[in-house]
Amino acid sequence: MSARVLDGNKIAEQVLSEVALEVENLAAAGHRPGLAALRAGSHHASEIYVRNKIRTCERLGMHSEKIEPSGQATTAELVYIVEELNRREDIDGILVQLPLPPQVDTKTVLQTVAPEKDVDGLHPMNAGNLATGRPGLVPCTPAGIMEILKRSSIAIEGRHAVVIGRSDLVGKPVAMLLLNDHATVTICHSKTQNLAAIAKQADILVVAIGRPGFVARDFVKLGAVVIDVGVNKLDDARLVQEFFAGDAARRKTFEEKGSVLIGDVDPRVAEVAGAITPVPGGVGPLTIAMLMANTVKACKMRRCAAQRTAR
């Protein structure tokens, strides 16, 4: 048996095509969506992520701004920047790229973002809306996971979903989304006993634990759907040989670059799963696509609602 590969790149392009049409229609009505990305410090990966997000905005015809104070910026300085963005009518979404420098109180900065502009869905008000089934902005990666499931015609209602990981960014919100779509949900984490046995009960297994190749074949029920959220860099030749023994392309990548990407799921799980997301090319592309979708949603909720009220 070989698992069906759930192509995140293809699904992300579907979402982005739909978003581009919405942007065009909103711009024609005088509501061009706008996204501001705030990045502080010299974190190289953050710089790449922000650049990709701004580039995607430009491709879709959205207004975008990149704001990069120095790495010595204080909490108060970043709070001031966010408050200014909150007041601007042309900005619908505010993205605070993490991690922030160590001297900054990250929670304070994130909670300063106006809930209606919180396109990362991290504000306590949006978390509360999600938990109680009310409309709001949902974290991008969990929203992308749901798009993968739905656009791949994978049934959720009545299925047993197991989520490994309990972060505010992925584990908790994806559990709530699955629950809201009538799955029976179990959340597991680093302190869970008999983790493999619980995971093996899952019809849908979502893994976001941050440990390369952690979920092995004996965690997975035959035919289960496996969503691998992890992105880890593997630079140990012995582990590359172990995980990718039958994958000549991955081994070649390692030989050329000295490292290769792997998810939180052992690639050999594909031999027992019914469907699986690859790493790379699975959940990752949906994160940016859903950020764009959230910015459009924020624009419609905020500006179009205000226009209706004015009438």
Please count the other Cβ atoms lying within 10 Å of the Cβ belonging to residue 106: 16
DSSP string covering 122-177, please?
-SHHHHHHHHTT-S----HHHHHHHHHHHHTT---TT-EEEEE---TTTHHHHHHH
Q: Is 120 noted as a catalytic residue in this protein?
A: yes
The CB-based long-range contact list for 166-173 (8 Å cut-off, 24+ gap) reads 167/208, 168/122, 168/127, 168/139, 169/122, 169/139, 169/141, 170/139, 170/141, 170/142, 170/208, 170/229, 171/206, 171/208, 172/127, 173/121, 173/127, 173/130, 173/138, 173/139, 173/142
Q: Give the active site residue among 97, 118, 203, 266.
A: 97
Catalytic residue from among 92, 120, 228, 266? 120
Q: Tell me the CA end-to-end span of the chain in Å, nearest whole number.
A: 60
Question: Is position 181 annotated as part of the catalytic site?
Answer: no
How many Å apart are CA 271 and CA 268, to the nearest integer? 6
For the question of residue 235 being annotated catalytic, the response is no
Helix axes 284-299, 140-151, angle to 10 degrees: 110
CA distances from 183 to 34, 179, 197, 226 (A): 35, 5, 19, 15
Residues annotated as part of the active site: 53, 97, 120
